[in-house]
Amino acid sequence: MRVTASSEPIAEDERRYRVLVDANVVGVTVSDHERVLEANDAWLRITGHTRAEQESGQLSWRAMTPPEWVSADDHAMEQLANEGWVEPYEKEYTRPDGTRVPVLISGVRLDSGVYPDWNVPMEYDPLLAKLISYGTTREQAMVRLKQALQEYAIGGIKTNLSLLRRILEDREFYSGRANTGFLLRLQEGSSKSREGAEETVALVAAGIFRLLAESASPSTTSRANGDSVSEWKKTARSEASR
């Protein structure tokens, strides 16, 4: 993935984060809504899991959580999404041997995980990045947003960049009249446009094939008496009579 922002502040944040992780003073993880994507040795030791389990990408912190703590986790995830951080709260993890270990959890949302020339890993959070534009007017903000979207270059995975660009080109969205049914109408309009384009392509292709077929085989013309003479013969007779 290639972006245009400077990577220096992010690199410094990464260095500080790694110091905390590698010190193993406390357990630290990087997780999405289900899986543990990264974990230091301290967290693996506390929960009783191995490095191989974590690196397999199948280690689920939700599966390790007893049922009575699910609501606390849901509340924490909601606060994380809305505010970007989670106040410390208590819960338990179930270890592989069936015993439970009490833990004190806190966390922050990582919005700066994307930087220039970053390679998107096989296991990635579907929310790769946020793009926010600012302007003194709606029109100015949209112009800046369009420009920024044109500069994004993400390879190897599917993204919604094309959809975002189409949204910004839509008159209904531009005028601020979009509502909850906007995306559905946009998709239906796009589908109809594709169907119309496919029909046009089919008609053009049919015309080309017909022309090719006519040029590949001698055509005939009807005389008044009903006999047919090939164009080749007509041309030969014309040349001979000169």
Per-residue confidence at 180, pLDDT binned at 50, 70, 90? confident
Per-residue confidence at 74, pLDDT binned at 50, 70, 90? very high
b/e 87-107 (16+ beta carbons within 10 angstroms → b):
eeeebbbbeeeeeeeebebeb
CA dihedral 211, 213, 219, 221 (to 10 degrees): -60
- pTM beyond 0.85, yes or no: no
pLDDT recorded at residue 21: 83
**Domain co-membership, 17 together with 100:** yes
Domain of 27? 8-108
Residue 114 in any domain: the answer is: no
Contact between 141 and 135 (Cβ < 8 Å): yes
Residue 115 in any domain: the answer is: no
Instruction: Indicate the number of domains in the chain.
Output: 3
Residue 120 in any domain: the answer is: no
Across 53-79, average pLDDT: 92
Q: Which residue has the higher pLDDT, 210 or 164?
A: 164
Per-residue confidence at 1, pLDDT binned at 50, 70, 90? very low
The 10s digit of each residue's pLDDT in 99-146 is 999 999 999 887 655 555 666 666 555 666 777 888 888 888 888 888
